[in-house]
Structure 1
């Protein structure tokens, strides 16, 4: 972090959304950004090269759950793992993939056949996510669904992204690591910090390390995803810890 503090104008700060800037909740539609995050991000954005949220969520959903983000100067949101991009109030994205509607159509029959109770399906536009957090046995439902959902994804020309009691079916060809790598090159970054909380963030951690830049990987810690903590340079206590770390980063820039 010393390089970022000494040369903030060359730094890119990348952040996941759910579990990193927003606490995990049982109903994804009821998530909300940490109330202290937008002003901290706004102050960071004034000092660093760029602040980017890199998320599997659609851009529209992120802005709905964190409307104050629209006022963060220069913020970039890379939604759907980078397939969507929001910058300066404008969203750019390719057409939705054909396989997603097919997966959505087949999912109710698959879940019924497997006897899945209280398993939620989230329409993410360019992806579909199956949540087991509210099932009677969340881990058992997750384990049971992994194989059948992988088969469904293959038939629909999609790939599977597992997470914290969620299995997402999305288009191939983009992940958080690829999205972050492209963004670092675009902005000619001289250093990078990325914070995440879930398995999908491992690709972004790998991108930080393969960039050749001075970099820091931060895990927004939980008892649910130990693999990310084991791979991180710094582990903090959930979104509260992420916000506090960013405050410390800002304070170091003033030192």
Structure 2
């Protein structure tokens, strides 16, 4: 069965290793924009209708399937129906949380998050944040969304510097995304989470698929792992909003629809 072909030699090598030695492969995915379409309100996000079936079909062949997301791990499992995927690991909050076999492990939230939580309402009011700006409290991180504002880009520009200042005072890092700015603890990123999981499962190859700026560290991790002999393929769930990821990808697919098609193709090839 034909599988979509990466445009880079490294990407093709990585995918070939996955196909020829699937039992030692780790396949990891972002959630929003990758396994789930982007929606105006993240609370309405749900997995693509074909995502769970495609992941389940792959799970019987590959060493491990993982989801690495900025969302709380339990929320991603609930919104995605991911508990139906055999052997799945979900690393939430950029790797701070872990869900596996129905068990959720969550460390204490950093103090700086509480400081931001208390300061944000007054700050947004003082700035005159436009209608449609809203705050998502992730317990271990705070995200400010502007997608529902009349001019999302202008709203994001208004908030960018003040949020960076607030993050610095609270000892947090700033993570930009698609019409969102997230304030979260330092040391939380998808690259570190992915690298640790590769080592844990003893993977010989890794595929990572994402759609946003927060996925760049995971792409960088794949590139670094290649230098250690672990083959890797970077897949971008393409969008018109974020070009940086597509430029680094070995394969670009057409959003969650295209990613699910690719996963179905890959599962079919492994079945064969």
* TM-score relative to the length of structure 1: 0.98
Q: Is the 8 A contact 2:35 2:51 kept in 1?
A: yes
1:201 equivalent in alignment to 2:215 = yes
- Aligned to 1:121, the other structure's residue is in SS state strand
Q: 2:116 corresponds to which residue? A: 103
The two structures, once aligned, show a CA RMSD in angstroms of 0.9
Q: 2:262 corresponds to which residue? A: 245
Q: Is the 8 A contact 2:77 2:90 kept in 1?
A: no
- Aligned to 2:159, the other structure's residue is in SS state helix
- After superposition, residues 1-255 of structure 1 pair within 5 angstroms as 1-67=15-81, 69-117=82-130, 118-212=132-226, 213-255=230-272
Query: Could you tell me how far apart the structure 1 residues matched to 2:214 and 2:235 are?
Result: 13
Unaligned runs of 5+ in 1: none
Offset, 1:75: 0.1
- Aligned to 2:104, the other structure's residue is in SS state strand
Offset, 1:254: 3.2
Q: Is the 8 A contact 2:37 2:255 kept in 1?
A: yes
- Aligned to 2:60, the other structure's residue is in SS state helix
Write the deviation string for residues 70-127 of structure 1: whole angstroms up to 9, x where unpaired.
1211000000000000111101121111111110111111111111122010011111
Unaligned runs of 5+ in 2: 1-14
Query: Could you tell me how far apart the structure 1 residues matched to 2:151 and 2:118 are?
Result: 25
- Aligned to 1:211, the other structure's residue is in SS state helix
Q: Higher relative CO (CA 8 A, sep ≥ 6), structure 1 or 2?
A: 2
- Aligned to 2:108, the other structure's residue is in SS state coil
Query: Could you tell me how far apart the structure 2 residues matched to 1:249 and 1:12 are?
Result: 14
Q: Is the 8 A contact 1:5 1:250 kept in 2?
A: no
Report how many aligned residue pairs link the two structures: 254
* TM-score relative to the length of structure 2: 0.92
